[in-house]
Amino acid sequence: MKTITSCLLITFCFMIKTPSFSDGVFLWTKISGKWNVDLSSHTLCSSRVSTNTYGYSDLIDNNSVTSIPEINRFTDIECGFELHSPVDDNHFTLIFSSSHYGLNFYGIRFNGTKEKLNRISLIQSKPINKDLSSKEKNNFVIENLISSDLALSYNSPIVLKLKINKSKLKVYVNDKVAIDYPLNEKVQAGKIGFSHKNNLVQVKTIYVRNGKEIIFTDDFSRNTVKTYTVTAEKVRDSK
């Protein structure tokens, strides 16, 4: 009887520890671009270099995906990625603490030339006029909070780690501190995501932790990108 009770207790504990991120079919919503999970390499890929300018938000103006669940109380984000086929003025951004429609977010943005990635920045997107409708075009600004130079090659793995301790953000690139910044507000809630322009992206790993506990991840072993489609069918043709 004791054994059965113990087994049930262990099973129950395991069930309540199972992260909720694996409950749904999709983990990501495609905002813009051409994102898909490559099942052979187990990576999240974006295959559109160019971008469209709509003016609603930075996310929809670049090639972006964001997580479907909001991720709260995280302390660490770890992301392994590679960039390919760059042209001048390209960037890749790890988005965090994003509102669900993408006007407000923080991001770690890598900027580069055709030859190398040469800059990393902590950026913040926010509305210019909070009183205007969210549907208003060109009502957002991207602020550069802090930047530093770096030199990273394309076509090779890059590991980006964010650590938030109380009100301090530390960003590591390949285990070296790249940004150390005091945050003025709590940024440990909201969606995470990726956006890029003028390059191709392969995201290989993503882990979001609260302490040692993984609270969000994707092993890219199945299609987890929710993509809306529009089908068009001719119905009338009149002279």
On the 0-12 / 13-18 / 19+ scale of CB atoms within 10 A, 59 is buried
Q: Considering beta carbons, is residue 1 or 25 the nearer one to another protein?
A: 25
- Looking at the Cβ atoms of 43 and 98, the one nearer to another protein is 98
In the complex, the smallest distance separating the C-beta of residue 30 from another protein, rounded to whole angstroms, is 7
Separation CA 163–CA 46 (nearest Å): 26
Closer residue to another protein in complex, CB, 11/138: 138
Measure the CA–CA gap between 148 and 154, rounded to whole angstroms: 18
Interface ranges with another protein (CB under 8 A): 25-26, 29-34, 52, 54, 56-57, 60, 100-103, 133-137, 226-239
**Closer Cβ to another protein, 102 or 107, answer by number:** 102
Tokens linked to 1:
């009887």
CA angle 161, 125, 29 (to 5 degrees): 70
State the minimum distance, in angstroms, from the CB of residue 53 to another protein. Answer: 9
Which CB atom, from 147 or from 223, has the smaller least distance to another protein? 223
Structural contact between residues 196 and 63, judged by C-beta atoms closer than 8 angstroms: yes
Q: Which is nearer to another protein, 54 or 181 (CB)?
A: 54
C-beta of 109: minimal distance to another protein in Å? 20
Min. distance of Cβ 62 from another protein in angstroms?
Answer: 11
CB of 5 to another protein, least distance (A): 39
- Shortest distance in whole angstroms from residue 209 CB to another protein: 27
Q: Are 218 and 44 in contact (CB under 8 A)?
A: yes
The residue whose two tokens read 């113990």 is 6
Q: Rounded to whole angstroms, what are the CA distances from 140 to 58, 103, 200?
A: 8, 7, 25
Distance (Å, whole) CA 210 – CA 101: 24
